[in-house]
Amino acid sequence: MNAKDVLYPAVLLVVIVVAWQTAIRLLAVPEYLVPAPSAIAGAFDGALLRHAATTFGEALLGFVGANILALLTAIAFVYCPPLERSFFPFAIALKTTPLVALAPLLVIWLGTGLGSKVVASMLICFFPTLVNGVKGLKSVEREAAELFASYGATSFETFWRLRLPSSLPYVLSALKISTSLAVVGAIVGEFVGANQGLGYLVLVSSYHMETPAMFAAIVCAAAIGLILFWAVGLVEARLVFWQKVDRP
């Protein structure tokens, strides 16, 4: 990451904030409709940060758990095709089911605590990594596989030294997608049943027409997604060093 990667977004952010603040003042927009950036900044306090920390923890646990499970499932699918044919349609069905329809069931089964939010985050993160993991593990060139076989490589050696490295660009791309999905899943879970977290804060703020607090919670949710995306981007730059990757 060089200076321009930070400078350009920072300058654009400053321009947007100044234009937003000016427009609110000139047009006299009521705060309950669209608050000024200064009002949103005033809503940042210790309580907001505690709610953000809760959502971050839920999203991180869901992100890690879902992707580990998805990678293990992808490996099982590649090495056992009947397993893929049997279970992949159910994975698609799970993906196409709206999370908002499943979240109430998770609250009933797991309660309003951490578990239901983590599982909601896992459900929405699981499918992209599964699909890209299967595709990546199958992307090995035939000549490379034949070369490994000619040297008498075992299945584990072929997996560790050939299939897994070949799949990294696919898997890491899916992980980037999952960073934002993890936050979405955690917040949806909080919407349905919670007593803390950014989703809970948004609901409570909407009941009391505290629009600046709602905007502040949305900013925090976006920041969490950016942090996770940036972290995956750093890992990608380290692991997939043989090809040019997008800067986080």
pLDDT per residue over 210-241, tens digit each? Answer: 999 999 999 999 999 999 999 999 999 888 87
Name the pLDDT band for 244 (thresholds 50, 70, 90): low
Comparing CA positions, the residue from 64, 66, 45 lying closest to residue 220 is 45
Band of pLDDT at residue 1, cut at 50, 70 and 90:
low
Query: Cβ distance 55 to 199 under 8 Å?
Result: yes
Residues 33/211, Cβ–Cβ less than 8 Å: yes
Distances (CA, A) of 202 to 24, 30, 79, 112: 22, 19, 45, 16
What the block records as the tokens of 140 is 């090995």
Over residues 133-146, the mean pLDDT reads: 91
Check pLDDT > 60 for residue 117. yes
pLDDT 10s digits, 176-206: 999 999 999 999 999 998 899 999 999 999 9
Write out the two tokens for 124.
């929405």
Structure tokens at 194: 């919670």
Q: Where are the chain's structural domains?
A: 1-30, 43-239
Distance CA(230)–CA(224), nearest Å, equals 10
pTM of the model: 0.91
- Superfamily holding 43-239: MetI-like (1.10.3720.10)
User: What are the tens digits of pLDDT across the range 50-92?
Assistant: 999 999 999 999 999 999 999 999 999 999 999 999 999 998 8
Number of H helices, E strands in the chain: 11, 0
Task: Give the angle 32-34-39 at the CA atoms, nearest 5°.
Answer: 80
Say what the alpha-carbon torsion angle 57, 59, 61, 64 is, to the nearest 10 degrees: -140
Q: What is the mean pLDDT of the chain?
A: 91
pLDDT-wise least confident of 5-9, 116-120, 135-139: 5-9
**Helices 114-137 and 164-192, interaxial angle, to 10°?**
160
Mean pLDDT to the nearest integer, 114-139: 95
pLDDT at position 248: 46
Residue 160 confidence (pLDDT) above 60? yes
